[in-house]
């Protein structure tokens, strides 16, 4: 079938210059997977969407993307189906995509060998994952939200006098601002991804340096 060019999985700006908040494309891939410290390898599976209710009687399912702007599912021939809860928690298997098309805020996906409504119901709630290497190439100075998972976060007036704050667990979007969700000794912090708070983001080193956390209360 004809599939449109993939949209943006990319989220924010990388590098040692202050990041820009207008680069985010809504919530990107789920960042809670893995132990962190470095960007995912090209072969690592990154969650893109969660399987919703069946559509019709021939095995199609609604897939709800974590990043509403992403069209990467339209480009894929293979995904990993990962069960994250219930009796099948921890089970995962690769499966080819027979067909996929967009609809409203979701995708209608036909996975190979999922041919009935009952079979589609059995994978409801599972995640559809893509290999990190399948993501569209980035422009200079950009990074994907999943690449920040586990990055160490410090705050200081200078990199030489940095104090550790915690690690990045997620990047999320509110209507007015994108935020880094950080977990550390002080608890959970939501830091706006704007120049006033974020000094630099270095994906390759797995590090984020904040200018300040003044006014940010842990939750």
- 118: part of which helix (H) or strand (E)? helix 117-122
At residue 68 the predicted structure's pLDDT band, cuts being 50, 70 and 90, is confident
pLDDT tens digits, 101-122 = 999 999 999 999 999 999 999 9
Question: CA-CA distance, 14 to 135, in Å (whole number)?
Answer: 16
Those residues whose C-beta lies under 8 Å from the C-beta of residue 129, and which sit 6 or more positions away, are: 45, 46, 47, 48, 79, 80, 81, 82, 92
The pTM (predicted TM-score) of the whole model is 0.70
At residue 42 the predicted structure's pLDDT band, cuts being 50, 70 and 90, is confident
Residue 162 scores a pLDDT above 90: no
DSSP 8-state symbol, 15: B
Domains present along the chain, CATH in parentheses: 10-41+139-210 (2.30.30.240), 45-134 (2.40.30.60)
What Rg, from alpha-carbon coordinates, does the chain have?
18
């Amino acid at each position: 079938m004809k599939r449109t060019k993939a949209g943006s999985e990319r989220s924010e700006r990388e590098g040692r210059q202050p990041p820009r908040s207008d680069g985010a494309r809504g919530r990107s891939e789920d960042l809670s997977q893995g132990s962190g410290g470095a960007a995912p390898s090209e072969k690592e599976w990154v969650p893109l969407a969660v399987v919703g209710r069946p559509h019709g009687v021939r095995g199609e399912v609604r897939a709800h993307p974590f990043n509403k702007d992403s069209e990467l599912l339209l480009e894929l021939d293979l995904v990993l189906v990962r069960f994250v809860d219930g009796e099948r928690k921890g089970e995962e298997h690769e499966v080819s995509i027979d067909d996929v098309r967009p609809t409203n805020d979701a995708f209608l996906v036909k996975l190979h060998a999922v041919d009935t409504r009952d079979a589609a119901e059995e994978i409801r709630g599972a995640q559809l994952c893509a290999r990190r290497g399948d993501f569209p190439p980035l422009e200079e100075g950009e990074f994907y939200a999943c690449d920040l998972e586990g990055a160490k976060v410090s705050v200081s007036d200078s990199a030489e006098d940095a104090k550790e704050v915690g690690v990045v667990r997620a990047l999320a979007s509110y209507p007015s601002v994108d935020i880094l969700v950080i977990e550390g000794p002080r608890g959970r912090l939501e830091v706006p991804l704007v120049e006033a708070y974020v000094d630099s983001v270095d994906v390759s080193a797995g590090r984020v340096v904040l200018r300040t956390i003044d006014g940010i209360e842990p939750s």
